[in-house]
A and B are shown apart, each in its own frame.
Chain A
Amino acid sequence: DQQVKQNSPSLSVQEGRISILNCDYTNSMFDYFLWYKKYPAEGPTFLISISSIKDKNEDGRFTVFLNKSAKHLSLHIVPSQPGDSAVYFCAASYNDMRFGAGTRLTVKP
């Protein structure tokens, strides 16, 4: 069963605008959430995380929001840059770590 879902396979935004990537989860036991970025032929690299005791975490252009009641998290990238073009994976952790199917972000110059 897919415990972590990213329902948008792709997203295209203009350079300088905001990118919003969404993720839903089903298991209320998850207590730590992460976003990873992946380029072709490379392993995923960690981007930002949030504990379930928080509802927002910010790191430069990247902000992750957590809505526990809705079992939903999102990643905001502001401003988006062409170098941000990659596949973004959402992950949720309790003991193990489960990933969504990914969203391919394309930032157009």
Chain B
Amino acid sequence: DARVTQTPRHKVTEMGQEVTMRCQPILGHNTVFWYRQTMMQGLELLAYFRNRAPLDDSGMPKDRFSAEMPDATLATLKIQPSEPRDSAVYFCASRRTLNTEAFFGQGTRLTVV
């Protein structure tokens, strides 16, 4: 049963600390997305990769967020330093190719205190 796996599921951290969220996309999918769920804007696109190459990260605060895909089985989203306003649920999704549905992980609920 192929699925997108995100770790950790929950993270509580203090302001100023580094946070790393990980995502294992479905094998064979060439596109990986990172989204943040907010009440006002729904699912906000932060960054995405195709064939491991970053195509767009304009949705991320550049000074503190970074997204990488070191290999085809791992995508990471880092926040350094974290701030209370970063508290949200972060979702990773992958899709096989253009014009196909994306499959989502269960999300990482981040709380920055």
A residues touching B (Cβ–Cβ < 8 Å)? 2, 6, 31-32, 34, 36, 41-46, 49, 51, 89, 91, 93, 95-102
Contact = CB atoms under 8 A, between A and B. Distances in A.
A45 B41 contact: no
- Tell me whether chain B's interface is mostly helix, strand or loop, or mixed: strand
Contacts of A99: 35, 42-45
Contacts, number: 61
B103 interface: yes
A95 B55 contact: yes
Interface of B: 4, 33, 35, 40-45, 48, 50, 55-56, 91, 93, 95, 98-99, 101-107
B106 A89 contact: no
Contacts of A97: 33, 45, 48, 93, 95, 102
Contacts of B41: 2, 101
A46 B95 CA distance: 11
Contacts of A102: 42-43
A45 B104 CA distance: 7
B109 to A, nearest CB: 8
A36 B42 CA distance: 12
B103 A46 contact: yes
Nearest to B101: A46
B102 A46 contact: yes
B106 A42 contact: yes
A32 B110 CA distance: 31
Contacts of B104: 36, 43-45
Given A44-B91, A89-B43, A95 B98 contact: yes
Contacts of A46: 101-103
A29 to B, nearest CB: 12
